[in-house]
Amino acid sequence: MLEFSFTKFARLMGRFHLTEKENPKCGWVNSAVFLAFRGTAISMTAEDSDGQDYVEIVVDGVARNWINLKKGVHEYIIEQGLPDGGSFLAPPAAKPLRLEYFGDSITDGAGIGHPHVLAEAPHLDDGYMSYVGISARMLNAEYHTMAICGIGVWQDAVGFKQGLPEHFFGTLGKGTAPWDFSRYIPDGIVINLGQNDYSTPIDDEAYIAAYIEFIRVILEKYNDPYIFCCVGTMNNNYLASVNKVVTYFNQSGNRKVFVVDLGLIHPEVEGWGGRYHPGYQTHYRMGWELASFISANTGWELLKRPLIATECVF
């Protein structure tokens, strides 16, 4: 069995706690480990805190299967019965464009793969195939994702005054080790927050002020990124407030802040996901619309659909 080293053979995407470099820790959706190898099988050893997390296995660009992690430390077979080989290779190179996404359960991919009547089915949630993963891969981009179900900018879905911005400075969220912002400087920021803020009574001005402050903090930490403020798709009753946020920055001279209206779920065409969340069809449409909007306003290339089938080589 070949000995694996994270520092030598892996590339990480997402916020990882790296105090122990050979034992990286992650907690955000779409956190990823990239590696390349030749061999007939590959396994991993992972530790999970509660036995409710899932790892999606992608081989040669094909999402193969889910692994439900068990509580504690366990070994898992990732793939077996592959062609002969026997070495780890240098990891795939990072993509040239960097994006970062902030959002709630939609950005998490919650509800994407299960029927509306099945409210909770975490094994059928899918961040990789959410609009986040779709839009980032259409733009050939690396992507970090910070998303929490039920969260907002100013308040959560039940009206408690807590928002995603307070998690921005922690590697794994509020109260965790500080994130080293020099490790990942995005070219573009996507924010999709407001659906939970506006699911309960709210002070519009408080929401607008909190949103403006969040963007100010982002601009202080990063080097003049594009910022795309999304609205939709479970409700869009906060569109007017988001327009005011974007207008504030545009009138202040920053023309790199945009509103992206992703509309609402079209259930007769796209169906429902779990508990009124968008399903796969809506996420694909959202990802395509978002990537197209970003490309049109930045000049960043949008990947074309392959026209000729290519052979997958392991």
Mean pLDDT for 77-101 is 88
Q: Based on the structure, what is the number of domains in the chain?
A: 2
Task: Write down the pTM of the prediction.
Answer: 0.90
Q: What is the mean pLDDT of the chain?
A: 92
Burial track 220-253 (b if 16+ CB lie within 10 A, e otherwise): eebeebbbbbbbbbbbbebbebbebbbebbeeee
CATH number at residue 51: 2.60.120.260
Same-domain check for residues 103 and 72: no
Same-domain check for residues 203 and 242: yes
Same-domain check for residues 81 and 160: no
- Write the pLDDT tens digit of every residue in 154-206: 999 999 999 999 999 999 999 999 999 999 999 999 999 999 999 999 999 99
Same-domain check for residues 154 and 57: no
Model pLDDT, residue 189: 98
The answer to whether 193 touches 235, Cβ cutoff 8 Å, is: no
Same-domain check for residues 63 and 116: no
Same-domain check for residues 107 and 23: no
- Write the pLDDT tens digit of every residue in 271-281: 999 889 999 99
Structural domain that includes position 247: 97-298
The answer to whether 235 touches 264, Cβ cutoff 8 Å, is: yes
Model pLDDT, residue 82: 76
Same-domain check for residues 13 and 63: yes
Angstrom distance (rounded) from CA 18 to CA 24: 5
Domain boundary among 89, 122, 150: 89
